[in-house]
Amino acid sequence: MHHRITGWFAATARELPWREPDCSAWGVLVSEVMLQQTPVVRVLPVWQEWLERWPTPAGLAGEPAGEAVRSWGRLGYPRRALRLHAAAAAIVRDHGGTVPGTFAELLALPGVGSYTAAAVAAFAYGRRETVVDTNIRRVHARLFSGVALPSPSLSATEMRLAAELLPDDAGTSVRWNAAVMELGALVCTARAPKCTDCPVRDSCAWLAAGEPPPSYVPKGQAWHGTDRQVRGAVLAVLRLADSPVPPEMFQREPADLGFAAEGIGVPLAALHRLNSAAEQLERALAGLLGDGLAELHEGGYQLPA
DNA sequence: GAACCGTGGAA
DNA sequence: TTTCCAAGGTT
């Protein structure tokens, strides 16, 4: 099993910049955070820009948090940008500017949970870590448990299985982690898995069981009409604004604002098109302030300085 | 454990 | 057009 999957990986793995041998641990950390719930193709260009602009944690830590949020662009979940900025500051303060290499040290960084800590320790430092992400969970679920999808939340049983499967040798374990993840991303996908391309289809418990459907229906997240949608639209305005945006600008028709809406007219119009209640807009603004994604300056909203 | 947090491309 | 979901983390 290990040989077949790692052999497949060696032959077909994607060339990604954060997988290059000369990629720094900082580059790996940035990639892992950006890849949290965001597809590779959308991360690639933003990652390149970040690493050119901030090749070290100190570079990012030396700039306002708002610059991290602004350059995050439309990757989504912008709190990740804020936490990456905070992580950079912590790395400078507590680790002399060098990304730490142990699971525990990494886990202590803002925005770094058990997956990201294990992934950075493994992929940046070659350590033997039990890496479990959504891809690995799905592969294990099908291959060994014979079910279409893993349960909604990560269980101790799954962690135990992943730990047992991990090769003893550190270098081999790193390749194993990356290979299973890649298999889940490219072949053993959530929808329409490409089983004919799978190197271990002969051993798959799910295929052997006749591809039984999922035992539960994943409930999707609502989007239209939600606070999140309004937050996103407000933040799109703030990213483009080069001066504080007065609250009333979020309420009015952009056409009525005239030259005042110069530069932010498009995202302002998009926000207005949502036609959200004043109460919802206030909730979104308050939420952004509370999360540190925005701050008040001379009566207007702006990205954190 | 559940809720919440963005965005865009594919099916 | 709507739904699904992508290298999760925090509260």
pLDDT score of A216 more than 90: no
d(CA A15, CA A209): 34
Distance in angstroms (rounded) separating the CA atoms of residues A142 and A130: 19
Tell me how far apart the 2 most distant CA atoms of chain A are, in Å.
67
pLDDT at A208: 97
A32 is catalytic: yes
CATH of segment(s) A24-123? 1.10.340.30
CA distance A5 to A11: 10
What's the whole-number mean pLDDT along residues A65-85? 98
Contact A238, A268 (CB under 8 A): no
How many Cα atoms sit within 13 Å of A213 on the Cβ side? 3
Strand C: list positions under 7 Å from protein Cβ.
3-10
List, chain by chain, residues whose CB lies under 7 Å from nucleic acid strand C.
Answer: A 16, 18-19, 31-32, 35-40, 76-77, 83, 110-117, 119, 133-135, 181-182, 184-185, 189-191, 217-218, 220-221, 223
Nucleotides of B under 7 A from a protein CB: 1-2, 4-9, 11
Q: What is the pLDDT, as a whole number, of residue A262?
A: 76
Q: What was the pLDDT predicted at A263?
A: 82
Encoded amino acid at A220, one letter: G
Residue ranges, CATH 1.10.340.30, chain A:
24-123
Å between CA of A287 and C1' of C8: 20
Q: Summarize the confidence of residues A208-219 as an average pLDDT.
A: 88
Task: Using the structure, give the distance in angstroms from the CA atom of A232 to the C1' atom of C11, rounded to a whole number.
Answer: 20
| pLDDT tens-digit map of A78-100 | 999 999 999 999 999 999 999 99
Percent of chain A residues topping a pLDDT of 70 = 98
Predicted local confidence at residue A174, as pLDDT: 98
Token output for A68: 């991290």
**Average pLDDT of chain A, as a whole number:** 95
Read out DSSP for A101-164?
-SHHHHHTSTT--HHHHHHHHHHTT--------HHHHHHHIIIII--SS--SS--HHHHHHHHH
DSSP state string for A8-45: HHHHH----GGGSTT--HHHHHHHHHHTTTS-HHHHHH
Given a cut of 90, whether residue A197 has pLDDT beyond it is yes
**Shortest CA to C1' contact from A287: nucleotide:** B5
Residue A299 has pLDDT above 80, yes or no: yes
Which nucleotide, over all strands, has the C1' atom closest to the CA of A222? C3
The proportion of chain A whose per-residue pLDDT surpasses 90, expressed as a percent, equals: 92
A101 — pLDDT class (breaks 50, 70, 90): very high
Which member of A32, A67, A158, A182 is catalytic?
A: A32
Query: Could you identify the residue written with the tokens 């989007």?
Result: A223
Query: What are the tens digits of pLDDT across the range A1-56?
Result: 999 999 999 999 999 999 999 999 999 999 999 999 999 999 999 999 999 999 99
Please give the pLDDT value at position A259.
66
Among the residue ranges A131-140, A227-236, A258-267, the one predicted with the least confidence is A258-267
Q: Is the CB of A191 under 7 A from strand B?
A: yes
User: Residue A114: CB partners within 8 Å, gap ≥ 6?
Assistant: A107, A132
Q: How do residues A235-294 score in pLDDT, each as one tens digit?
A: 999 999 999 999 999 988 777 777 666 789 899 999 999 999 999 999 999 999 999 999
